Amino acid sequence: MSRPDLPDDTELIDRIRTLDLESKVRLLTGATMWRLPAELRLGLSAVTMSDGPQGVRGTGEDPGATGLLAPAPSALAATWDTDLAERLGALFATEARRKDVDVVLGPVVNLQRTPVAGRHFEYFSEDPLLTGTLAAALVRGLQNRGVGACLKHFVANDSETDRTRYRSRLDERTLREVYLAPFEQVLAEAAPWSVMAAYSGVDDGTESAPMTENARLLRGVLKEEWGFSGPVVSDWAAARSTVASAVGGLDLVMPGPDPLWGAPLVEAVRAGAVDEQLIDDKVVRLLRLARHTGRLGEPGQKSAPPAAPAGPGEDEFRLIRQVAARGMVLLRNEADLLPLTHNGVRSVALIGPNAVAPYLQGGGSAFVPAVRTVSFEDGLRAALPEGVHLSVHRGGDARLRPPYLSAALLTDPDTGTVGVRADHLDADGNRVGGEIRPCGDWSGYTGFDATTHRVVLRTELTLTEPGTHRLEIGCVGRYAVTVDGEEVLSGDDDRGVELILDSSHSNPPLRGIDLEVGPQPRRITLVVDLTVVEPGGYDRFVTAQLRHAPPGPTAYEEIAEAAAAAQAADVAVVVVGTNEEVESEGWDRTALDLPAHQNELVRKVLAANPRTIVVVNAGAPVLLPWADETPALLWAWLPGQEAGHALADVLLGRTEPSGRLPWTLPARAEDVPVPDALPRDGIVHYSEGVHIGHRAWDKGGLAPAYPFGHGLGWTRWTYQSVAVSQSSVSTILPDPAGGDGLKLTVALTNTGPRAGREVVQVYLEPPQDGIDRPVRLLAGLATVQAAAGTRATAELHVPARAFQVWDTDTGGWRTPPGRYRLRVGRSSRDLRLLAEVTVHNGEFHAAA
List the strands of the sheet with 208-210, edge to edge.
208-210, 201-203, 167-169, 683-685
Contact in structure between 590 and 425 (CB atoms under 8 Å)? no
494 carries an active-site annotation: no
Contact in structure between 676 and 114 (CB atoms under 8 Å)? yes
Q: Among residues 197, 136, 150, which one has the least CA distance to residue 51?
A: 150
Contact in structure between 551 and 469 (CB atoms under 8 Å)? yes
697-725 burial by CB neighbour count: b if 16+ within 10 A, else e? bbbeebebbbbbbbbbbbbebebeebebe
Q: Among residues 100, 146, 519, which one has the least CA distance to residue 305?
A: 100
Tell me phi and psi for residue 487, to 5 degrees.
-70, 130
**Cα separation, 688 vs 672, whole angstroms:** 12
385-407 burial by CB neighbour count: b if 16+ within 10 A, else e? eeebeebbbbbbbbeebbeebee
Q: What's the CA angle centered on 758, arms 757 and 759, to 5 degrees?
A: 130
Contact in structure between 9 and 284 (CB atoms under 8 Å)? yes
Q: What's the CA angle centered on 198, arms 193 and 202, to 5 degrees?
A: 120
Cα–chain-centroid distance for residue 28?
A: 27
Phi-psi region of 352 (alpha: psi -120 to 50; beta: other; left: phi over 0): left
Q: Among residues 200, 273, 289, 197, which one has the least CA distance to residue 235?
A: 197
Cis peptide before 339 (omega within 30 of 0): yes
Of 235, 281, 529, 698, the catalytic one is: 235
CA dihedral 183, 188, 194, 196 (to 10 degrees): 10
Contact in structure between 157 and 114 (CB atoms under 8 Å)? no
Long-range contacts of 804-812 (CB under 8 A, 24+ apart): 804/732, 804/734, 805/173, 805/177, 805/771, 805/773, 806/172, 806/173, 806/176, 806/177, 808/171, 808/172, 808/173, 812/734
232: three-class secondary structure by DSSP = strand
- The strand pair at 522-531 and 510-517 is best described as unpaired
Kindly list the distances between the CA atom of residue 38 and the CA atoms of 43, 260, 303, 537, in Å, as whole numbers in the listed order: 8, 20, 11, 18
- Which residues are part of the catalytic machinery? 235
